[in-house]
Amino acid sequence: MTNWKQKVIVITGASAGIGEGTALHFAKFGAKLFLTGRNSDNLQKTKDQCVQLGLPDENIGSVVGDITDKTVQSKILSGALEKYGKIDVLVNNAGMVHYLKTGDTSDEEYDEMFDTNVKAQFMLTKAAMEYIKQTKGNIVFVSSICGGRPMGELPVYCMSKAAIDMFTQCLALELAPFGVRVNSVKYNSVEDS
């Protein structure tokens, strides 16, 4: 059985929804958390809930910011490493969706979804890989059934999740020789907290 009290888990998009739920789940096991999100008030609520579950405040680090910003990506990794000295698990949860059909999607909306759902996760993972190799850790991507199931009102979102699914598979092959596991979680729909 894993001793989560010795594990450092970085969770993006932890200020709401699946990311928040993931943080609360690992807090119950006493893991050391490093949380990120765009909304400082909501991120603080997540941290407060973790403390209410018994996780010591010193076992929670955080960075507020947009995951698509390379400076924020650097702060996430440097913050986790400065606080804990290692990274065992990276949960790539941050994401967004626009409910728009192809003809209604602007260039900006397309770029925003791909920058958040694909590029930012790729770049953060790329930067974190060497640290995760050192711990023989885990990388988890939060995907969606939309990555393999077309939906007419969500073409760009579906495309972005299909890209993450393929990246997960490719990265799993690349990192397996180093003892690093790479997986994705494909959810249907969830109620936000």
Q: Is the pLDDT of residue 123 over 80?
A: yes
Q: Is the pLDDT of residue 135 over 70?
A: yes
Q: Is 187 a catalytic residue?
A: no
Residue 67 backbone dihedrals phi, psi, to 5 degrees: -60, -20
Please state the CATH superfamily assignment of the domain spanning residues 4-183 in this structure.
NAD(P)-binding Rossmann-like Domain (3.40.50.720)
**Which residue type does 87 have?**
I
Structure tokens at 12: 């993006």
Q: Is the pLDDT of residue 120 over 90?
A: yes
pTM, 2 dp: 0.94
Torsion of the alpha carbons at 39, 45, 48 and 49, rounded to the nearest 10: -130
Q: Is the pLDDT of residue 192 over 60?
A: no
Question: Whole-angstrom Cα distance, residue 143 to residue 160?
Answer: 9
Q: Is the pLDDT of residue 145 over 90?
A: no
Q: Is the pLDDT of residue 67 over 70?
A: yes
**Mean pLDDT of all residues in the chain?**
94
pLDDT at 193: 47
Contacts of 10 (CB under 8 A, 6+ apart): 34, 35, 36, 76, 77, 80, 87, 89, 90, 91, 128
3-class secondary structure, 36: strand
Give me the mean pLDDT over the 2-25 stretch: 94
Q: Parse the chain into domains and list their residue ranges.
A: 4-183
pLDDT band at 3 (very low <50, low <70, confident <90, very high): confident
- pLDDT digit string, tens, across residues 152-188: 789 999 999 999 999 999 999 999 999 999 999 987 6
Which of 84, 110, 157, 187 is catalytic? The answer is 157
Token look-up 């990120």 returns 36
Tell me the HSE value of 129 on the side-chain side, using a 13 A CA sphere: 15
